[in-house]
Amino acid sequence: MPAGTTSTVSAITRVKTALPVPPAPSSCAPAALEEAAPAAATLSILDRMTHAWMGRFTASVSPAALTLAWADWAIHLASSPGKQIELWQKGVRKTARLAHYAATCGAQEGAPRCIDPLPQDRRFEHPGWMKPPFNLIHQAFLLQQQWWHNATTGIRGVAEGHEKGVTFTARQLLDMISPTNFPLTNPEVLEATVNQMGVNLARGYRNWTDDVRRQLSGKGPAGVEDFRVGGNLAVTPGRVVFRNRLMELIQYSPSTGEVRPEPILIVPAWIMKYYILDLSPQNSLISYLVSRGYTVFCVSWKNPGPEDRDLGMEDYQRLGILDALRVINMVVPGMPVHAMGYCLGGTLLSIVAAALARDGDQRLASMTLLAAQTDFTEAGELTLFIDESQLSFLEDGMWSQGYLDTTQMAGAFQLLRSNDLIWSKMVREYLLGEREPMIDLMAWNADSTRMPYRMHSEYLRRLFLENELAGGRYRVDGRPVALGDIRCPVFAVGTETDHVAPWHSVYRARLLLDTELTFCLTNGGHNAGIVSEPGRPRRRHRLETIQPDQPYMDADTWMAATQPREGSWWPSWVDWLDERSGAPVPPPPMGCKEAGLPPLEAAPGTYVHMR
């Protein structure tokens, strides 16, 4: 018997022995029916193990989901003769355009291109792409790319999710075969190879072997060893003042003689290490807040393992935010808290804030949401990985190991920007032989975390798939919560090029909140747009405070009507906090010894070092 079959059978045997023994059959319940339940459970486990095994080869993407999407597209295209004729006509016209361009280039040097790349596509910027034969090669590719976009969209009857899935998959395949990815069809690579006599390819081979070695040994990318948490990252002085099985709460030491009486609680996403907000001293948001006279507390989440598989969303609410608020109320008694949540942490914070408001708890002075979604209707291309088929497949993979692995999450996010994060990087490092210098943000990005099976399944199903929070169906302690109950002022930040939490989705909080909302839109992406310290060049943001009685304005109209401001959004946010805070007072003590909460070890604590 093959080794894989032996391991599967033995695993099923172990599960069967762990199942509860059914009671003895009664006279009115045949023994066959009594044995049906454990037998069905065992067969279900076999299904889940099979899906988990398949996920190792498909990057946790459900083959059934892709097959359904392509079948939907193909069947409707096959029964749409008008669309077929349209695609045939477009193909003829594009061929004629390419032929005319070739003739023009033969008669005129520097002829204008017949199709321009999309604004965000920087693959063909090198001057060599305007010289033959590379001008024809890249123009033919762009025309083909445009034709496939036409072929995968606009077909009547295709489900919206299936259309997006087919378009996304087609784009991934085209990006894979782009002429930029091959030495003989990339003029920049050929030029470098000639000028350097092939040394660039030798460096690229060395870079590739180094990356393979690092991946096999579990090391981070090249250069990450120059950045150490607690050494040159996450160095803002502070102490851990509380620890439970899920998080450490860090209180930062004051750097001013007096502080605002209302403390700040920072809730990062558990998909990331908290120190993205405390990177190097010059770009640490936490250090900036401390320097502006605030007492800052920050949650540092534990990196979960198989033993944490049953931690759910309510555990993150209770052991995370609510425990943190309880401790802060002991350290700074009688004062409301400015709570800030980043990404998933902001979504969780909004749920807790709604529950507190529902119960008449007024512990929050304000709430700030950084690139955090509360309505997942426009959640971007991440929704391509979230339907019933895909979720079931992903759940089975997590079920087998107890958590969602770091490589699974990283792969999904890289696919959203495959040109920048996969193919362009490979061309630069393996064909041109150029290593991109490691920076603190890249080192943090390589320090990824896992997510517990139960929590991640609940998050994807209840929020992404069923959108329960926006629909008023999300339950906390058995009762639904509504964001419209929140009365504290809210500051929401979106980033213009966010591929994780698109700013249009973040802006939808305006539809759900019935309180003063200050919306800020900054340039940059999900991470670089937030880590945007004052003095950083080419920074801008838009800002408006919206009262609950103002008429609704859609996102694009709001953007067009709101003038950009030069510079970082950090000072605008702190000014907003100052207006909603009391006069400065002496700083509070570190921890609360009287309540049995003495300061523990120095920041950044122990959980942040967990691998």
pLDDT of residue 161: 86
Distance, in Å, from the CA atom of 113 to the CA atom of 534, rounded to the nearest integer, reads: 40
pLDDT of residue 219: 86
pLDDT > 50? residue 174: yes
Rounded to 5°, the CA angle 605-610-611 comes to: 155
Closest to 362 (Cα-Cα) out of 489, 214, 492: 489
**pLDDT tens digits for range 428-443:** 999 999 998 999 999 9
Residues whose CB falls within 8 Å of the CB of residue 72, separated by 6 or more in sequence, listed in order: 158, 159, 162, 166
pLDDT of residue 12: 39
Q: Are 288 and 268 in contact (CB under 8 A)?
A: no
pLDDT > 90? residue 342: yes
Distance, in Å, from the CA atom of 204 to the CA atom of 257, rounded to the nearest integer, reads: 53
pLDDT > 60? residue 22: no
pLDDT > 80? residue 607: yes
Rounded to 5°, the CA angle 315-316-322 comes to: 95
Two structure tokens written together for 24: 């003895």
Mean pLDDT of the chain: 88
Distance, in Å, from the CA atom of 531 to the CA atom of 443, rounded to the nearest integer, reads: 14
Distance, in Å, from the CA atom of 169 to the CA atom of 525, rounded to the nearest integer, reads: 23
DSSP letters spanning 569-589: SHHHHHHHHHHTS---BPPPP
pLDDT > 90? residue 6: no
Two structure tokens written together for 236: 């803002």
pLDDT of residue 350: 98
Distance, in Å, from the CA atom of 331 to the CA atom of 592, rounded to the nearest integer, reads: 5
pTM score, whole prediction: 0.87
Q: Are 572 and 541 in contact (CB under 8 A)?
A: yes
**Residues designated catalytic:** 343
Q: Are 142 and 66 in contact (CB under 8 A)?
A: no
Domains of the chain: 65-195 (no CATH), 238-399+450-609 (3.40.50.1820)
Distance, in Å, from the CA atom of 285 to the CA atom of 291, rounded to the nearest integer, reads: 10
